[in-house]
Amino acid sequence: MDVQRWLSSAVAAVEDWQDSFGPYQPDASMRISDERFASVFGEFTQRLRNNYPFFHPSYAGQMLKPAHPAAVVGYLTAMLINPNNHALDGGPATGQMEKEAVAELAAMFGFGTHLGHLTSSGTIANLEALYVARELHPGKGIAYSEEAHYTHARMCGVLGVEGTPVAVDGAGRMDPAALDALLAGGRIGTVVATAGTTGLGAIDPVHEVLAVARRHGVRVHVDAAYGGFFTLLAGLADRAGLDEAPWRAISGCDSVVVDPHKHGLQPYGCGAVLFADPEVGRFYLHDSPYTYFTSGDLHLGEISLECSRAGASAAALWLTLRLLPLTPDGLGQVLAAGRRAALDWAALISQSGRLELYQQPELDIVCYFPVTAPATLSRIDAASVQMLDHGMKRERPVFLSTLRVTAAGMSQRHPGIEADAGGARILRSVLMKPETEGYVGELHARAEQLAAQAAG
């Protein structure tokens, strides 16, 4: 895709639409000459060089990558109009696009009925799910795994609800037996299952969590902010294919969050929350005297906690989904390549004398650490941090990230490592760009070199 070409088409299309309203004079107070802009823009683009190369396969660190060019063009085109999807009065076209895109997300998870909308982030989307959970089970707490995203505990605090972490198994997945014991106490109203944890990419057994929760009359919310689009690989007869059970179970849960700004190729901020029961819309009722006047149809602000939201986000997602639909051979191909990259790198690390795999990747996150002598947590911590640091400073840099693991987590997986500290930082690479599949050999070679240096 030639982004320059499509951006100029975007400007032309919007100007053509603007011209249909007749001429007007922009105010002098807003005028900026091209010469003045050029000098500031030069400084601005220079400042932006201070960034990590998220686009390049040598960036194998955090959950970050550029948006798809189609999403960028979609976003910028709509942004020239700057609709606000709070109300259909603020953005009739993008409001409709949002409803269509959200319906596609609901269908991807197999929701028969749904109520949902985009949000500015996964955090806000989860906040909405927990808010509805609180309204439906007043006075009851919310449970989530020890490996759940940190914002669940934070949002429980915001909502004034007691949050309780549930123990995980040896692969970082919620332990259904521990959940059963907790729910038997009767204090919990909602359990959050994470389909793809942020640290390890572990998938809670949603099907088992759902069965346990239903036995106790408890709601289930699925945080699939990071992992949700991997549902496209469920049951696929391909080595990137995933066990269907947890993914298919999402259709029976009460709510789900997925972040198009993570694996959906979208710019920040684009999260989404979906409820299976449209009746929960009643918890959002408000009576503002200054909204909603051109349409009797449902306004997105009537079913969301946030007020203003970028219509451009919905436009970008809608356009992207028309081009890369939510099918195994559409967006699924993009995720499958990252998943194969993770499997390939994990296989190389398993055979390496310099690196050790923390655990087998379930999605596209690979966690590993340098082999050190002595094999202690403090040596692993220091060597991992050195690898992170030196990797970025090399002539041909490689960008990694670290993950803090507990002594218990390490000894469950690697009993030979001496726990001389409470935990250690290890290395974590999110392989979310499909281009990484062809770059795994290079990443591995560089990581092995760094590990050799760090151990020496």
Ligand X SMILES: Cc1ncc(COP(=O)(O)O)c(C=O)c1O
Nearer to ligand X, 116 or 370 (CB): 116
Smaller CB separation from ligand X, 126 or 190: 126
Q: How far is the CB of 274 from ligand X (least distance, A)?
A: 15
Q: Which is nearer to ligand X, 63 or 343 (CB)?
A: 63
What residues are paired with 193 via a beta bridge?
222
CB of 5 to ligand X, least distance (A): 31
Q: State which residue, 246 or 370, has the beta carbon closest to ligand X.
A: 246
Looking at the Cβ atoms of 62 and 352, the one nearer to ligand X is 62
Are 242 and 233 spatial neighbours (Cβ–Cβ below 8 Å)?
Answer: yes
Q: Which is nearer to ligand X, 173 or 354 (CB)?
A: 173
Residue 257 Cβ, how far from ligand X at the closest point, in Å?
A: 7
**Which of 58, 126 has the CB closer to ligand X?**
126
The least CB distance from residue 270 to ligand X, in Å, is 9
Interface ranges with ligand X (CB under 6 A) = 63, 121-123, 126, 149, 151, 194, 198, 223, 225-226, 259, 271
Taking the complex as a whole, the smallest distance from the CB of residue 259 to ligand X amounts, in Å, to: 5
Shortest gap between Cβ of 230 and ligand X (angstroms)?
Answer: 12
Shortest CB 318 distance to ligand X, Å: 19
Q: Is the peptide bond before 241 cis (omega within 30 degrees of 0)?
A: no
Residue number with the shortest CB distance to ligand X? 122
By beta-carbon proximity to ligand X, the closer residue of 230 and 358 is: 230
CA torsion through residues 124, 129, 133, 136, sign:
positive
Nearest-approach distance from CB 204 to ligand X, in angstroms: 10
